[in-house]
Amino acid sequence: MNDSAFPRRFAVVGNPVKHSRSPAIHEQFGRQTGIRLHYGLLESPLDAFARSVSGFFAEGGRGLNVTVPFKEEAHALCGDNLSERARLAGAVNTLWMHEGRLRGCNTDGVGLLADIARQGVDAAGKRVLLIGAGGAAKGALLPLLEAGCEALRIVNRNAGRAQGLKIHLDTHMAGLAAKVSAGGLDQAQGEWDIVVNATSSSLAGQAPAISGVAYAPGGLAYDMMYGPRPTPFLLQAQAAGADRVADGLGMLVEQAAEAFFIWNGVRPDTAPVLAQLRAQMAGH
């Protein structure tokens, strides 16, 4: 079979997925790099994720992006066939087959760091507050620590989940974990250089229930969610004195670019794709 004669098949799997912008992003990457591809939407039943994944690859699919609520289940599905990023995150957002075996990686944190850099902020030496302890937060931990942040506090509505992430880091990354503290949302107080909302609160039209958060001069508030208008978290951050705010659209594009590179061996240019998405969201 001549591979070039047939579009390479990719998709995003989640529940729900109908509003995902991933197809538009990857199709632009394909045009940019000259790779023929088709990128679809795969809405998996909540109790049939493994079957959805195996069916996609059995039919010749080349790669899957994984979104809520399946990132941790995707990690379990890969067994030991995980990148270091995915192993330490405990969550997978990128799947592909290698030598007949399912492999998983986590590109969320790499995407986050790339977009934080785009805002003109270097995480090195910074005090970081990470709100949330789910799959999105897990993906961000290793890249933030490897970037050299000075301190990282994880807070979550369920304090036990945040503390569980701290224990996970103590087990796997003792050297870096010394910079990490964890607790409930009531332990978010302090002055921070970067505050990342890794919860889905903005999807519900709410800001996380944090108080006593102050932003250092030049401080950045980053919401992993995105929309045509500032999210509730970003409005909360501006009221608290954040000099810079950014939503997660850039992270979405950057993590997609990393997945595209894993699947195709080519690294696309993210800037024009992000600019086009921004224009579309603004209604232009």
The reply to whether 21 sits in an annotated binding site is: yes
**Does 255 carry a binding-site annotation?**
yes
Cβ-count burial of 32 within 10 angstroms (0-12 exposed, 13-18 middle, 19+ buried)?
middle
Q: Are 92 and 262 in contact (CB under 8 A)?
A: no
The alpha carbon dihedral of 179, 183, 184, 190 has a sign of negative
Q: Is 44 among the annotated ligand-binding positions?
A: no
Consult the annotation and say whether 224 binds a ligand: yes
Burial (Cβ within 10 Å: 0-12, 13-18, ≥19) of residue 137: buried
Residue 129's H or E segment, with its range, is: strand 127-131
Q: Is 226 annotated as a binding residue?
A: yes
Q: Is 133 annotated as a binding residue?
A: yes
User: Binding residue per annotation — 222?
Assistant: no
244 labelled as ligand-binding?
Answer: no
Which residues are known to be catalytic?
71
* Cβ 173 vs Cβ 88: under 8 Å: yes
Amino acid at the residue 269: D
The verdict on whether residue 63 carries a ligand-binding annotation is no
Answer yes or no: is 276 a known binding residue.
no
Q: Reduced to 3 states, what is the DSSP secondary structure of residue 51?
A: helix
Please state the residue numbers annotated as binding site for shikimate.
Answer: 20-22, 67, 93, 108, 226, 255
Please state the residue numbers annotated as binding site.
Answer: 20-22, 67, 84, 93, 108, 132-136, 224, 226, 248, 255
Please state the residue numbers annotated as binding site for NADP(+).
Answer: 84, 132-136, 224, 248
